[in-house]
Structure 1
Amino acid sequence: MKSVFVTVGTTCFEELIAVVSAPETIQILQSLGYSRLVLQVGGGAAPTPLRTPAFTLEVFRFRESLAEEFQRADLVISHAGAGTCLETLEKGKPLLVVINEKLMNNHQLELARQLYKDEHLFYCTCSTLLESLKSIDLSTLKPFPPGQPEKFAAFLDSITGFE
């Protein structure tokens, strides 16, 4: 059972939830072989859960940890929050970031563009989500390199004189 996990984090991104849960999107996801869609909706409006023999739509607001959902997902669709992007990529999951164009001084776009340029994710807007789902090739994504906290610690030691 291929699964898509959609998360908006602690934000309210109702436009993303509305687009991703629309019948047209569900039809595209099914045509791509997905049979489960899990939505983490934050404080925004929540669509009605759905369970048919061919497709399941699950909805929740918040959980203490999203680790299980990330683990089960074959694709993550997310807002462009830095923490969510990095957590998804560190888990080796394909990621489609949806930019919230209504945010002022949209730093999220800068992050998404750089990670796209480095071939770690794809990004789109709510208005281009359907076309993006139809056209992206997840097999072209490059794995995100693991963090190296020991290098950061060595750097801090060197500038503070603890070498």
Structure 2
Amino acid sequence: MAEVEGKGGQVFVTVGTTLFDALVKEASSPPCRQALADLGYTSLIIQRGKGSFIPVESDGQDGGLKVLSFGFAPNLSEYIASSALVISHAGSGSIFETLRAQRPLVVVVNDLLMDNHQCELAEELAARKHLVYANSPATLIQTLKGMELPSLVPYTPSTPLAVVNALDKFLGFVDS
């Protein structure tokens, strides 16, 4: 994975098409912006989805981060590719798009969702060291301060055959 920590650069926050104001609020809060600035980042772009919370924007002239936000865009791949760090909700589409782009990723789970299956995916990928995992927006700042991006392992997409083989084994179709 590209070494980008502390080099200055853009942080991109995405909530996809969901409503996740808690993440938008936390990521744009003064303490989070300060934590990102302390890590060497210079700008924060927030894709806020369906949410009603609109972050206070800044041109960065006060010595802090430059902050911009928008609701939706037809394609987020350019934002992801140009970012030194991506902070994302735990949707599988956003996670895998970022991992395929080989960008450092912090996944924040929406702890208010019932039957939250997204945390299982985030936990598994964090255990494999493909991403950094925050179990709620309330832990985002602590997670940012403790993350070790150089230890992340690049994600390598597997072939469909690997999935087929895993299913065959699970269903008992593979000889041992």
Distance 2:111 2:13 in 1: 18
Partner of 1:36: 43
RMSD (Å) for aligned C-alpha atoms: 1.7
Which structure has the highest strand share of the two? 1
After superposition, what is the alpha-carbon deviation per residue over 1:57-77, rounded to whole angstroms, capped at 9, x for unaligned?
010100000011001111100
Matched, 1:20 2:19: no
Whether 2:153 is the aligned partner of 1:142: answer: yes
Aligned partner of 2:85 in structure 1 is 75
User: Against the structure 1 CA distance between its residues 14 and 115, is the aligned structure 2 distance closer, same or farther, given a 3 Å change threshold?
Assistant: same
| Residue correspondence of structure 1 range 1-163 to structure 2 within 5 A | 1-44=8-51, 45-53=53-61, 54=63, 55-124=65-134, 125-149=136-160, 151=161
Per the TM alignment, residue 122 of structure 1 is displaced from its structure 2 partner at its CA by: 1.0
Question: What is the aligned residue count?
Answer: 154
Runs of 4+ in 1 over 6 A off after TM superposition: none
- Name the TM-score, length of structure 1 as normaliser: 0.89
Per the TM alignment, residue 147 of structure 1 is displaced from its structure 2 partner at its CA by 4.1
Flag structure 2 segments of 5+ consecutive residues without an equivalent: 1-7, 166-176
- What amino acid maps onto 1:66 in structure 2? L
Question: When the two structures are superposed, what TM-score results if normalisation uses the length of structure 2?
Answer: 0.83
